Amino acid sequence: EAGVTQSPTHLIKTRGQQATLRCSPISGHTSVYWYQQALGLGLQFLLWYDEGEERNRGNFPPRFSGRQFPNYSSELNVNALELEDSALYLCASSLTVYSNQPQHFGDGTRLSIL
Amino acid sequence: GESVGLHLPTLSVQEGDNSIINCAYSNSASDYFIWYKQESGKGPQFIIDIRSNMDKRQGQRVTVLLNKTVKHLSLQIAATQPGDSAVYFCAENKGSGGYQKVTFGTGTKLQVIP
């Protein structure tokens, strides 16, 4: 069974540009989560989607947005990129939101802002 | 506020010894706990989970202990191997009305000395 896949692996942008990161969950998983992991820091929760709806949002500015598609894949968009957006962006998926299930992570997209 | 923390940021152990990684949580309403392993350049990998109605759960070479009285979680790794070198995160999950809130600790780095 394929795990969570993210693309691209690396992304280099300049300040002010826009970035789009993509995530495909494990087959059968309906919930998708996005996290930011800056160098040396823990996972900071960004967004949570389930059944195509945004369920919760972390403490990030509105220029961080995303969506979930009918096939449960998801994308994260970051507009007006700033230097401090440089980080590893991790996507996770889980089986269902209504019972305790572990989140399974992809290997992330490394976003570098020049 | 709610928090999940770790007592030791770095743990060094001799190959073959047992490792114990500790985690404190502050939300007594949390009902599900997970341990993850993150190797360099990869996303967090699910290791083991435990629900609040249990105090111990064993996996392959790993054991998780939950002490709800003092709100403490630990991960024990038996016969630690070089491949166990990684950062280990604990996470707590509180489900409420169908919504989950997962909080991750900052991580403990495990270094295995050959």
| Among the listed residues B76, B63, B73, B62, the one whose alpha carbon sits nearest the alpha carbon of residue B27 | B73
What is the per-residue pLDDT for B28? 86
**Residue B100 has which token pair?**
């989950």
Compute how many other C-beta atoms are within 10 angstroms of the C-beta atom of residue A39: 7
What is the per-residue pLDDT for B17? 97
B61: left (phi over 0), alpha (psi -120 to 50) or beta: left
Check CB contact under 8 Å for A56 and B43: no
Choose among A42, A45, A104: nearest Cβ to B106.
A42
| Among the listed residues A18, A53, A103, A39, the one whose alpha carbon sits nearest the alpha carbon of residue B87 | A39
Using 50, 70 and 90 to split pLDDT, how confident is the model at A15? very high
What is the per-residue pLDDT for A41? 73
* Tens of pLDDT, residues A40-95: 678 899 999 999 999 889 999 999 999 999 999 999 999 999 999 999 999 999 98
Partner A contacted by B93 (CB < 8 A):
yes
pLDDT at B97 over 80: no
**Residue A88 has which token pair?**
């590893």
C-alpha distances out from residue A75 to A54, A69, A72, A92, A113, Å: 12, 8, 10, 12, 19
Compute how many other C-beta atoms are within 10 angstroms of the C-beta atom of residue B74: 17
pLDDT at B2 over 70: no
* Sequence letter at residue A47: L
What is the per-residue pLDDT for B6? 40
Check CB contact under 8 Å for A103 and B46: yes
pLDDT at B99 over 80: no
Partner A contacted by B88 (CB < 8 A):
no
